[in-house]
Amino acid sequence: MKGKHLSMKHLTYSLSLILLFACPSLVKAQQAVDNVIFGVFCGHCSDHCAILYAYSSEDSTTLYVDSTDSYFRRHDEPIVCKTPVHDAGKIQWVRTLINDIPDDMLYGTERNRTFGCPDCSDACGIYMEFMHHQNRYRFYIDTQPGQLNDRMKVFVKELKEVVSEFKKRPK
């Protein structure tokens, strides 16, 4: 019986290693981000200039949106997205987005970082905030890909597509 118990431990350990290496993005997403706020802000705009979305693993069936431009009024206060959206498709897109967060954002040492020149030349910017291992990370990202590394270019394209689709289908 002892031999069977030992071999079962080896089997469990081996399967864990296989899953870890075969599905690194799945493991990364599950262990990495507790909640996320993301969206687009435009400083040269007159109304609804910052539309942000919030998702929390604690309330995984609801996405929240803020289109009140609170991003510009917050002065280091937390962004509050209050309007609930119960759209399973949108929530799945956000989960995929979380899974695709580049490693230099997820594991970087800077908690507040700017990529490129967001909202320069009237091109708007992308805001992304998330909690990772009980630390808050905030990113301000250029929508123009010229100043970004290749991985960030892919992620920014994905972020812009998600926000664009969400705008098309507000509720």
The percent of residues above 90 in pLDDT, for the chain, comes to: 18
Comparison of pLDDT for 145 and 113, the residue scoring more: 113
Question: Could you tell me the CA-to-CA distances from 82 to 53, 70, 142 in Å, in that order?
Answer: 9, 11, 26
Residue 55 reports pLDDT greater than 90: yes
pLDDT of amino acid 14: 43
Confidence of residue 46 (pLDDT cuts 50, 70, 90): confident
pLDDT the model gives residue 71:
73
Tell me the CATH number for domain 33-168.
3.30.1560
Is residue 110 scored above 60 in pLDDT?
Answer: yes
Q: How confident is the model at residue 154 (pLDDT cuts 50, 70, 90)?
A: very high
Res 54 pLDDT > 70? yes
Question: Are the CB atoms for 45 and 72 separated by under 8 Å?
Answer: no
Q: Within a 10 A sphere around the Cβ of 2, how many other Cβ atoms?
A: 6
What count of Cα atoms within 13 Å lies in the side-chain half-sphere of residue 165?
13
* Domain spans, the chain: 33-168
Residue 19's pLDDT is 39
Whole-prediction pTM: 0.74
Q: What pLDDT, on a 0 to 100 scale, did the predictor assign at position 135?
A: 85
